Amino acid sequence: MSADANEESPGLIARIARDNSPLVIVLVAAFVVIFVIGAATAPNFLTVFNFKTIIRDAALVGIMAIGLTFVTLSGNFFLLSMKETAALSIIAFATCMSAGYGFEISFLVTMLIGIGAGALQGVLIGLGGNPIVVTLGAAGLFFGIGSWWSDNLVVSFRRPHGAEWLGTGSFLGLPNITVAFILIAITAELVLRRTNFGRQVYLVGANRAAGKATGHENLGLAIKVCIIASVCSAFVAIAFSAQVSSAHVNYFAASFGSSGDMTIMVIATVMVGGNSIMGGYGSTLRSSLGAVFISTVDNMMVLHGFNSGPRVLAVGLMIVFSIIVFALLRRGTRAVE
């Protein structure tokens, strides 16, 4: 077989398709099934407005899931502090806004908090701390600071404010937060596939010892991926605060809103996307699709009038189902070791 240039370096799309193939098929098939059921049973399901709703709902969880995917792919498990990082960030942002610092300063301060939160956890994990213990501890720390800082009260700031464009603005008919989700998804996928950093994430995630032996150490990597995840949390907090012009430490908890505990939703998204919990396999694209998928199912259930109990149950079922499918697929495509 002649090895022409095309074969030697397949295009990006071909590589994505090859890496994901069995899983993408399953996910697409699942989408089709859900859409058929949705179209057949829910009258308003197949409308442009409803699709926009689905993607908008997917955006916040999706952005955080993209950030967390870096951590998971790099073999550093999960950050159990996603929700609390967002809680601290939203308090910081709203406090700055209500103090009249303006969007830019408030944004910057919040992002710095996100970076600090990520760096702290990254250093501890990179030095060998157990990710579960470290991030549980960090979760308590961040929530405690946020709660103390805000006296456990709602912090609100008056409209009009400089953040409204992010919270409620739109671009070409799409909400800006949806646009941000799409841009972040594309950027993240490019970073993972095309940069040294992205490659290191995969390599160290696939085999940490071999990563070290080839000069890629987990310490630096853990710091970077934790910062990415925490910054995504902080960004989502800003976007959400901009939308509702207020903040409270419990905005991302299960008791608030309808979609359940944010950390659990984010982890569910990463897993429904079919990323390996052990690291090394998966992509942010999968997480993005996972977010849209969960959002679609959730949307359909809302249209059918289910309340939050069955909807959380559905998310749980999706996690279990995805783990089974993922395991079966991996078994089918990989040699037994």
Partner 1 sequence: MQPLLQLSDINRSYGAINALVGAQFELRRGEVMGLVGENGAGKSTMVKIIGGFDSGFTGDYQMNGEKLKFHNPTHAEKAGIAIAQQELSLIKTMSVAENIFLAGEGVPIFATRRTLANKAKPFMEEVGLEYIDPLRAVNRLSVGEQHLVEVARLLAHDPQVLILDEPTAALGETDSIRILDMVNRLRDRGKSIIYVSHRMDEIFKICDRITVLRDGESQDPREAKDLNVESLVELMLGRELGNMFPKRVAQSRRDPLMQVRDLWPDGVLEPANFDIYPGEILGLAGQLGAGTAEILAAMAGAANTRGGKLIFDGREFLPKRPKEAIAAGIGYCSEDRKHDGLFLGRPIFENLTAPALKAVSTGGVIAPLREQTLAAETAVNFTVDPDRLPQEAGVLSGGNQQKVALGKWLSIKPKVILVNEPTRGVDVGARAEIYLKLRELADQGASIVVASTDLYEITNLPDRIISFYRGIQIGEIELADITSERILQQITDPFNETGRHGEMVK
Residues of this chain that bind partner 1 (CB under 8 A) = 1, 3, 5, 8-10, 18, 194-197, 199-200, 202-203, 206-207, 209-217, 280-281, 334-335, 337
In the complex, the smallest distance separating the C-beta of residue 27 from partner 1, rounded to whole angstroms, is 20
Q: Give the largest CA-CA distance in the chain.
A: 70
Q: CB count, 10 Å around CB of 132? A: 13
C-beta of 195 vs 258, nearer to partner 1: 195
In the complex, the smallest distance separating the C-beta of residue 8 from partner 1, rounded to whole angstroms, is 5
C-beta of 258 vs 333, nearer to partner 1: 333
Q: Which of 79, 80, 108, 77 is nearest to 227 (CA)?
A: 79
C-beta of 179 vs 206, nearer to partner 1: 206
Residues whose CB is less than 8 angstroms from the CB of residue 142 and which lie 6 or more positions away in sequence, other chains included? 81, 84, 85, 87, 88, 117
Round to whole Å and give the CA distance between 246 and 209: 46
C-beta of 9 vs 255, nearer to partner 1: 9
In the complex, the smallest distance separating the C-beta of residue 47 from partner 1, rounded to whole angstroms, is 41
C-beta of 6 vs 255, nearer to partner 1: 6
Collapsed DSSP state (helix, strand, coil) of residue 161: coil
Cis peptide before 160 (omega within 30 of 0): yes
C-beta of 159 vs 194, nearer to partner 1: 194
In the complex, the smallest distance separating the C-beta of residue 20 from partner 1, rounded to whole angstroms, is 13
| C-alpha 314: how far from chain center | 19
Signed CA dihedral, 26, 30, 36, 39: sign only: negative
Residues present in the chain in total: 337
215: left (phi over 0), alpha (psi -120 to 50) or beta: left
In the complex, the smallest distance separating the C-beta of residue 10 from partner 1, rounded to whole angstroms, is 8
In the complex, the smallest distance separating the C-beta of residue 189 from partner 1, rounded to whole angstroms, is 14
Direct distance between the N- and C-terminal alpha carbons of the chain, in angstroms, rounded to an integer: 29
Round to whole Å and give the CA distance between 316 and 322: 10
C-beta of 126 vs 280, nearer to partner 1: 280
Any idea what DSSP says for residue 158? Answer: P
Can you read off the two tokens belonging to residue 152?
Answer: 């456990």
In the complex, the smallest distance separating the C-beta of residue 125 from partner 1, rounded to whole angstroms, is 18
